Chains A and B, each alone.
Chain A
Amino acid sequence: ETGVTQSPTHLIKTRGQQVTLRCSSQSGHNTVSWYQQALGQGPQFIFQYYREEENGRGNFPPRFSGLQFPNYSSELNVNALELDDSALYLCASSLGLAVTDTQYFGPGTRLTVL
């Protein structure tokens, strides 16, 4: 196990609703990154937080937002859910910002938007 946990495991929402997904990083890891993985595709980078500040963002609209807390937990918030938001959402924690810092992924949250 990676020591990275995510909750909930599965979630069903309807279009237009808002959702909050949670991640608990490995202790001591200052960086958390969030990814969206559509079925049969590779993960797509949403954004990264380092010591509670956003440090990079992929090609996702502002309705995707995040927070990182001092206790190594973080959140991904998605507003105004769309059908295409249905995917596996992964968080990954790493020690710092170096590309060589190993990212440890959680098992993901499966979000279904109806």
Chain B
Amino acid sequence: QQQVKQSPQSLIVQKGGISIINCAYENTAFDYFPWYQQFPGKGPALLIAIRPDVSEKKEGRFTISFNKSAKQFSLHIMDSQPGDSATYFCAAEGSSASKIIFGSGTRLSIRP
């Protein structure tokens, strides 16, 4: 069964600190790994994404690290701000019929 395992379930970080969320996947047919941010009452919004031929991608304060051999990837949020408080989902996408598998989410709280 295809799965994407995400941890931790919840995370509290001090303002200015680094938030780290981890994901692991099983199916090597996935070829795109996005991260989504979801605020209460809103749909998920794409934050940053990476292809498996790249080990790291950085956009502003957000960085994805990708380890193809371990089938793991992580999101790092540098200089975390209270406005980053949201639920974050990793996902794995491919061209199979099931298209995209989401992780179970991480509720991030940034303390002022």
Contacts and interface: CB of A to CB of B under 8 A. Distances in A.
B99 interface: yes
A48 B98 CA distance: 9
B104 A41 contact: yes
Given A99-B95, A100-B32, A106 B102 contact: no
Given A33-B100, A41-B105, A105-B42, 20 more contacts: A40-B104, A40-B105, A42-B6, A42-B91, A42-B104, A43-B102, A44-B102, A45-B101, A45-B102, A48-B99, A56-B97, A56-B98, A56-B99, A99-B31, A99-B94, A99-B95, A102-B46, A103-B46, A106-B43, A107-B42
Given A4-B43, A107-B41, A43 B98 contact: no
The SS class assigned to the B binding surface is loop
Interface in B1-54: 4, 6, 31-32, 41-46, 49, 51
Interface residues of B, number: 27
A33 B99 contact: yes
Interface residues of A, number: 24
Contacts of B104: 40-42
A71 interface: no
A57 interface: yes
B44 A105 contact: yes
Contact of A100 (B4, B49, B94, B105): B49
A27 interface: no
The 10 A-B residue pairs with the shortest CB-CB distance in the complex, in nearest-first order: A105-B43, A42-B102, A99-B32, A99-B93, A56-B97, A56-B99, A42-B89, A43-B102, A105-B44, A42-B105
Contacts of A103: 46
Interface string A24-59: 000000000100000011111100100000001111
Contacts of A58: 98-99
Nearest to B49: A100
A91 B49 CA distance: 20
Interface in A67-111: 90, 92, 99-100, 102-103, 105-108
Contacts of B94: 99
